[in-house]
Copies of this chain bind each other. A is one copy, B any other.
Amino acid sequence: MVTNYLSDEEFSMLYRKTEQLQYAKREMVFKQGSPFLYVGFLSEGLVKQSYFNKGKETILSVIKGPALIGGANFFLGDSYFTSFVTLSDCKICLIEVSILKESILKNGLLAFGLTSHVAESFKDSILNFINKSQKQVQGKIAGILLYFADKIFNSNQFDILLSRKEISDFAGCSEENVINTLSKMAKEGIIKINNKKIDILQKEKLGMIFQCG
């Protein structure tokens, strides 16, 4: 965690200047292209990170608190590289970039910690893309379902907070393909779907599809 690298003084400095906010589902936290003024500490909730290009959305990741969001922009220029939108109610602290920057220049460890965090999240995104680029749609979708089950909800039964369109923007395929693939999996008894509620019935089989597909 980033806070591990802060002295008490630095922490209270940041904390005093910090605003903790409550966000509803589907609120924009940071908008791609707008001035980079805050980094967010997502203490509770789920957020999607996406990139928009010619009206097309690509979802880079779904992030679960506690986590830092927007940190990568520290090293990328003056405006947000991607958008962050809540998928559930969230609690987020906004930390002023100018203040965090001061702390970073004084505290090499904090800088290294932040950087490592940013690099890791980049690495995750890239591994995700590599994975997708080597798989067919059913494999990608199996991967997304397993990700939600194991990394986000720690349960085989969950409410996938993304629409079918969004799942397709995450997987990198058409919406119909997502719908078809999910229906087919349901027919084969691998999952049960009830709108956005998903129940993984045969996890090993789903794992196989992810590995092979």
A residues at B contact (CB < 8 Å): 51, 53, 56, 58, 60, 72, 74-76, 81, 105, 108, 111-112, 115-116, 118-120, 122-123, 125-126, 129-134, 172
Chain B nearest CB from A83 CB (Å) reads: 13
Interface hub of A51, A75, A118, A131 (most chain B Cβ within 10 A): A75
Q: Is the interface of A mostly helix, strand, loop or mixed?
A: helix
| B58 lies within 8 A of A116 (CB) | no
Chain B nearest CB from A131 CB (Å) reads: 8
Closest 10 A/B residue pairs (Cβ): A75-B119, A129-B129, A122-B122, A133-B172, A75-B116, A115-B115, A58-B130, A75-B115, A56-B134, A51-B130
Chain B hits for A132, CB < 8 A: 133
Q: List 7 A-B contacts (CB under 8 A).
A: A72-B123, A75-B116, A81-B123, A111-B115, A118-B119, A129-B133, A134-B172
Number of this chain's copies in the complex: 2
Q: How far, in whole Å, are A112 and B101 apart by their CA atoms in the complex?
A: 11
Q: Given contacts A58-B133, A108-B105, A108-B111, is CB(A126)–CB(B126) below 8 Å?
A: yes
Q: How far, in whole Å, are A206 and B73 apart by their CA atoms in the complex?
A: 33
| B133 lies within 8 A of A72 (CB) | no
- Nearest opposing residue in chain B for A130, CB measure: B58
Q: How far, in whole Å, are A122 and B56 apart by their CA atoms in the complex?
A: 21
Q: How far, in whole Å, are A112 and B125 apart by their CA atoms in the complex?
A: 22
Q: How far, in whole Å, are A111 and B109 apart by their CA atoms in the complex?
A: 11
Chain B hits for A131, CB < 8 A: 53
